Structure 1
Amino acid sequence: MKKYDFIIAGGGMAGLSLAYYLTQSSLRDRSILIIDRDVKNQNDRTWCFWEKGQGPFESIVFRKWETVSFHGTTYSGPIDMVDYHYKMLRGIDFYAFIEAELAKYPTVERKIATINRIKDTPQGGFVIADDEPYIADYVFDSTFALKLDQPENHNLLQHFKGWVITTEKACFDPNYPEIMDFRVEQHGDCRFLYVLPFNEKTALVEFTLFNDKLLSQEEYEADLRQYIDRYLDTGAYRISETEYGVIPMSDETTTENPSDHIIRIGTSGGYTKASTGYTFQRTQRYLQDIVHSLHQTGKPHRKRSWFKGRFKLYDSIFLNVLQKHRHPADDIFTKIYTKNSPRVFTFLDEDTRLIDEIRLFTTMPWWPFTAALFDVLRRKIVG
């Protein structure tokens, strides 16, 4: 049984990003095995995120914008992002870029297999895939399935279906993506569309919900068609690509380091921001911290400030407001984005100062959020 320095269990966005950062560091000569059940050769997803300056994947960013549009309850128009850019990265471009980079390093191996088991041993992290054993000093696991079933916590889902459409008429403004359009029936949930234009006749149109119940594929499509017919002057249109996804929005405590030789990454490690479902940028930041720690100390344990824990409390409060329907979600997001730009982007990146957070909180409806705060504290005490 061959022993590796690192095994990456799961070759999705988190696993491939980690392999990339390892090869870009002083650890590039270490042996790495990536195990995944699929070959990543399809445009199976799109990541959108905001970022200051140039990022590590700037060369493959598909589109980026300096200003975004928003349509809420009391405001419709542009939101200036100031120092940020809103960026769109296609899955197929990311996979191809990473594959080309990893191919430069003979120390990186790939295995297409189904992972049967991962466990810690005194000799290292142990993985069985297609009944074959593998061992490494450290196993980075992005396949661990979170249970998300604790009653004292909040467990919602962000689920979405989107179409890339090409239209007969020039109906899109390529300079203004619509990041949230709440002109759809809310049904007591948080429901919105976003429209990311590639050019005047092509865009990704995606229907997104925050709640705890998935829809049928036909229901997603019905809302997509209704929005396009009502608000986009397309003429005829053709659907060229489809994407669908489900992201957990949960404040359950995740164990990033469950044992000496196993480290959970990506959603498995709690990298998804509970209140928004955004994962891509947080994953990049956390993985770079892990690689830096490996370089500095030989151990993959990123440093975390206890004071940063306040953002978990904020996430829990926000999820409580949504889950308990304490205030209409479309109005909450309208207040967040229109009264706090560009502070809101820094806040969601968890880079604000406490005084900035207090200023943001004063723009929220005070009673729903106060009630949510006390309910969150009660759950934690009772739970």
Structure 2
Amino acid sequence: MRSSVDVDLALLGGGGAASLVLAALDRHGVRGLRMAVVDPVHRRGQDRTWAFWDRPGGDLDALLSASWPRAEVLTPTGRRVLDLAPLRYAMLRSGPVYERAAAAERRLGATRMVTAVDTVDDDGDRVRVRTSDGRTLRAGWVLDSRPCPPARPGRTNWLQHFRGWWLEADAPVFDPGRAVLMDFRTPQPARGVSFGYVLPVSDRYALVEYTEFSPTLLTGAGYDAALAGYRDLLGLDPARLTVREVENGVIPMTDGPFVARPSPRVVRLGTAGGATRPSTGFTFSAMRRQADQIARALAAGRPPVPRPAYPRRHRWMDAVALRALDRGSVGGPQFFARLFDRNPAERVLRFLDGTTTPAEELAVMSSTRLRPMVTAAVGDAAHRLRDRLRPPRPAPLVPAPVRDGASPPERAGA
């Protein structure tokens, strides 16, 4: 019979969310807990990229590949150069994050179990985790970052899906002092929003990416064609470029609810815990907040339960915005362009991260077109009422990432 392991805290999944938790526990001086990390893959190297905004001087500064004090938003009608102060836009590749987490894991004395999870049973006092290799893990608390569908289908179900090329040029072609945050000059899909972006690490090396917010995925050839078109739109000569890496991904954009606390002693993290912003797909900033709140709670002897990733009013605003975009009552490029035209860039970025005040949110909302948003709000309210009057349907599974070379980058929060 395989052995049984008893711990105070178990992390199921070893990707970005778990890595941030391990580093936060170490940083906040949490010691004396018996811990285990259960994941079938021991994460190493550059298998994904995160881009996000924050204030300089944080714990991630030494790990960043690049950061930018300015960013551009482009539409067919103009170019906006955004001064992001006091924030900055930053790029973080996974290799340094995994290395820092591995060092924290060693200092914390955590047990690493390289296996998949079969079942999780919570009796209210302890959680029993059975693994695919026949072992049993008993834990006081479980932090679960494995993919999980929403509790029910959303009223609107879109995807953020993308492909990026890491391009190396044989001569200086990129501006390392400025990132392209959103470039809406790309051909727009019949239903959805598309944009490109450019994250330069140096004047010869950058991540160039094509992204869609839409209900359906493209084919591999479709992503390549869209990326080639965006490369040409940027005026880059393919004969002078080498594709060093390829990154792909799919992130859910849905107002379907993710249950962050499925049982008394199980807490979900990352997308499964509601960290993905429905209207944008941004995830990373909310994962950081979750990790910090968990570590602070454990350091103070409290249960490791973070606050909701976003206020309820933000989830409502996201549902309304998704509905308006899905029904075509607002155009995506126009919607985002108005946000940046009529608000300080720093306010928009904090709004997208879910950290604005109600007064600031009123200012952001007033910059959108009123009639289509009111129509979407009324339609959302009617749909919510219908949902309450009929039995819930099973939710679809969140699509697995499309993979080709490296794994998916998340844009901000990705």
TM range (shorter): over 0.9
After TM superposition, give the deviation of residue 78 of structure 1 in Å: 0.9
SS in 2 for 1:177: strand
Provide the rounded CA distance (Å) in 1 between the counterparts of 2:125 and 2:365.
49
Q: Is 1:352 aligned to 2:350, yes or no?
A: no
Could you state the TM-score of these two structures normalised by the residue count of structure 1? 0.94
SS in 2 for 1:103: helix
Q: What's the counterpart of residue 78 of structure 1?
A: 81
Q: State the AA in 2 paired with 1:159.
A: H
Percent identity between matched residues is: 27
Provide the rounded CA distance (Å) in 1 between the counterparts of 2:307 and 2:271.
18
Provide the rounded CA distance (Å) in 2 between the counterparts of 1:156 and 1:244.
17
Q: What's the counterpart of residue 337 of structure 2?
A: 334
Could you state the TM-score of these two structures normalised by the residue count of structure 2? 0.87
Q: State the AA in 2 paired with 1:246.
A: V
Aligned residue pair count: 380
Q: State the AA in 1 paired with 2:252.
A: P
Provide the rounded CA distance (Å) in 1 between the counterparts of 2:350 and 2:234.
31
Q: Is 1:194 aligned to 2:197, yes or no?
A: yes
Alpha-carbon distance change, 376 to 287 in structure 1, aligned in 2, over 3 angstroms: same
Q: Is 1:291 aligned to 2:304, yes or no?
A: no
After TM superposition, give the deviation of residue 21 of structure 1 in Å: 1.6
Q: What's the counterpart of residue 179 of structure 1?
A: 181
After TM superposition, give the deviation of residue 213 of structure 1 in Å: 0.4
Q: Give per-residue Cα distances to partners, 1:30-60, cap 9 Å, x unaligned.
A: 1110011112123111100000232221110
After TM superposition, give the deviation of residue 24 of structure 1 in Å: 2.5
Q: State the AA in 2 paired with 1:362.
A: S
* 1:221-236 alignment runs, 5 A limit: 221-234=224-237, 235-236=239-240
Partners of 1:171 and 1:232 within 8 A in 2: no
SS in 1 for 2:107: coil
Provide the rounded CA distance (Å) in 1 between the counterparts of 2:205 and 2:308.
42
After TM superposition, give the deviation of residue 346 of structure 1 in Å: 1.9
After TM superposition, give the deviation of residue 353 of structure 1 in Å: 2.2
Provide the rounded CA distance (Å) in 1 between the counterparts of 2:269 and 2:151.
17
CA RMSD between the two structures = 1.8
User: Which consecutive residues of structure 2, in runs of 5 or more, have no partner in the other structure?
Assistant: 388-414
Q: What's the counterpart of residue 403 of structure 2?
A: none
Partners of 1:17 and 1:287 within 8 A in 2: yes
Q: What's the counterpart of residue 407 of structure 2?
A: none
Partners of 1:72 and 1:333 within 8 A in 2: no
Partners of 1:293 and 1:300 within 8 A in 2: yes
Provide the rounded CA distance (Å) in 1 between the counterparts of 2:50 and 2:102.
18
Q: What's the counterpart of residue 258 of structure 2?
A: 254
After TM superposition, give the deviation of residue 111 of structure 1 in Å: 1.3
After TM superposition, give the deviation of residue 26 of structure 1 in Å: 4.3
With a CA cutoff of 8 Å and minimum separation of 6, indicate the structure with the bigger relative contact order.
Answer: 2
Q: Is 1:117 aligned to 2:123, yes or no?
A: no
Alpha-carbon distance change, 186 to 31 in structure 1, aligned in 2, over 3 angstroms: same
Alpha-carbon distance change, 375 to 175 in structure 1, aligned in 2, over 3 angstroms: same
Provide the rounded CA distance (Å) in 1 between the counterparts of 2:125 and 2:138.
8
Q: What's the counterpart of residue 7 of structure 2?
A: 4
User: Which consecutive residues of structure 1, in runs of 5 or more, have no partner in the other structure?
Assistant: none
Which of 266, 272, 283 in structure 2 is aligned with 1:268? 272
Partners of 1:6 and 1:33 within 8 A in 2: yes
SS in 1 for 2:311: helix
Alpha-carbon distance change, 128 to 144 in structure 1, aligned in 2, over 3 angstroms: farther
Q: What's the counterpart of residue 412 of structure 2?
A: none
Q: What's the counterpart of residue 158 of structure 2?
A: 156
Provide the rounded CA distance (Å) in 2 between the counterparts of 1:196 and 1:75.
20
SS in 2 for 1:203: strand
SS in 2 for 1:267: helix
Which of 85, 102, 123 in structure 2 is aligned with 1:99? 102
After TM superposition, give the deviation of residue 123 of structure 1 in Å: 4.3
Provide the rounded CA distance (Å) in 2 between the counterparts of 1:206 and 1:9.
31
Alpha-carbon distance change, 111 to 370 in structure 1, aligned in 2, over 3 angstroms: same
SS in 2 for 1:163: strand
Provide the rounded CA distance (Å) in 2 between the counterparts of 1:158 and 1:337.
20
Q: What's the counterpart of residue 135 of structure 1?
A: 138
Which of 30, 41, 54 in structure 2 is aligned with 1:27? 30
Name whichever of 357-366 and 10-19 sits farther off: 357-366
After TM superposition, give the deviation of residue 27 of structure 1 in Å: 2.6
Q: State the AA in 2 paired with 1:192.
A: F
Q: Give per-residue Cα distances to partners, 1:143-172, cap 9 Å, x unaligned.
A: 141147525x22211011101011233221
After TM superposition, give the deviation of residue 299 of structure 1 in Å: 1.3
Provide the rounded CA distance (Å) in 2 between the counterparts of 1:81 and 1:326.
30
Q: What's the counterpart of residue 243 of structure 2?
A: 239
Which of 169, 172, 181 in structure 1 is aligned with 2:171? 169
Q: State the AA in 1 paired with 2:100.
A: F
Q: What's the counterpart of residue 378 of structure 2?
A: 374
SS in 2 for 1:320: helix
SS in 2 for 1:183: coil
Q: Is 1:282 aligned to 2:286, yes or no?
A: yes
Partners of 2:163 and 2:246 within 8 A in 1: yes
After TM superposition, give the deviation of residue 25 of structure 1 in Å: 2.7
SS in 2 for 1:8: strand
